[in-house]
Amino acid sequence: MDFTKILEMLAGGMLKSMGIFILTLVFSLPLGLIISFGRMSKNKIVSFIVKIYISVMRGTPLMLQLLVVFFGPFYLWEANIGGPYRFIAVILAFALNYAAYFAEIYRSGIESMPSGQYEAAQILGYSRAQTFFKIILPQVIKRILPAVTNEVITLVKDTSLAFAIAYTEMFTLAKQIAAKETTFVPFIVAAVFYYIFNLLVAVIMEHAEKKLNYYQ
């Protein structure tokens, strides 16, 4: 197999990795916000359950969670886990896992907001929803952006864990090609791809941080 062919195959795999990346963010960022509400809930039972959820999600390997989500339905209900379910399982496991991390990041940002911001909004007559979405959340986003960047960069690399359930994203392909052709080249190419992807992510996030620097 020549180099261009390897490049071509891995580029195809890269698209799948990016698919995991984008869909995970699309689902886990809003879900994380909802989970952070649960974590901060005044209802002790709700906050306790959510605390356990976050603890388990952060305390066990993502690879293991992938296996549970993928094979679980088969062992529990003998459900059909063929066809598109492999991809669904990847997104489900990644979104559930990353939402737990994002929830804690949101919580740190929300809890760092001075109470005066809530009080000023209340006095001016803002509803609770207006207060959160107009006053609190924009400031929280600015505060948590560096922490979110960290997670997003980790996510780029974590997409390679999908190999555990044989979803053919870039890393799975690289391994397959390397084994079949007994060559190290696919790993180097994959490394370069991941690196460029993350460079791009870093540039975009830096740009976002700069855009939010219009106030302090």
The residue whose two tokens read 């390397």 is 178
The token pair at 169 is 């994203």
Integer Cα distance of 169 and 86 in angstroms: 12
Which listed range, 6-14, 47-55, 77-85, 114-122, lies at the site for other proteins (CB under 8 A)? 114-122
Q: How far is the CB of 23 from other proteins (least distance, A)?
A: 30
Among 2, 4, 78, 123, interactor with other proteins by CB under 8 A: 123
Tell which positions 128-187 bind other proteins, by CB under 8 A: 130, 134-135, 138-139, 142
Contacts of 154 (CB under 8 A, 6+ apart): none
Number of residues that bind other proteins (CB under 8 A): 19
Q: How far is the CB of 4 from other proteins (least distance, A)?
A: 50
Which listed range, 36-44, 57-65, 123-131, 195-203, lies at the site for other proteins (CB under 8 A)? 123-131
Which of these, 117, 152, 212, lies nearest to 29 by C-alpha position?
Answer: 152
- Closest CB to other proteins among residues 117, 154: 117
Q: How far is the CB of 42 from other proteins (least distance, A)?
A: 15
Under rule CB under 8 A, residue 83 binds other proteins: no
- 8 Å CB contact between 113 and 139: yes
Q: How many CB atoms lie within 10 A of CB 51?
A: 12
Among 42, 83, 116, 182, interactor with other proteins by CB under 8 A: 116
Under rule CB under 8 A, residue 216 binds other proteins: yes
Cα angle vertex 21, ends 97, 26, to 5°? 75
Contacts 24+ apart (CB under 8 A), 116-123: none
Under rule CB under 8 A, residue 85 binds other proteins: no
Cα angle vertex 147, ends 143, 153, to 5°? 140
Under rule CB under 8 A, residue 117 binds other proteins: yes
- Closest CB to other proteins among residues 82, 116: 116
**Helix 44-59 and helix 85-111, axial crossing angle in degrees, nearest 10:** 120
Under rule CB under 8 A, residue 47 binds other proteins: no
Interface ranges with other proteins (CB under 8 A): 114, 116-117, 119-120, 122-126, 130, 134-135, 138-139, 142, 214-216
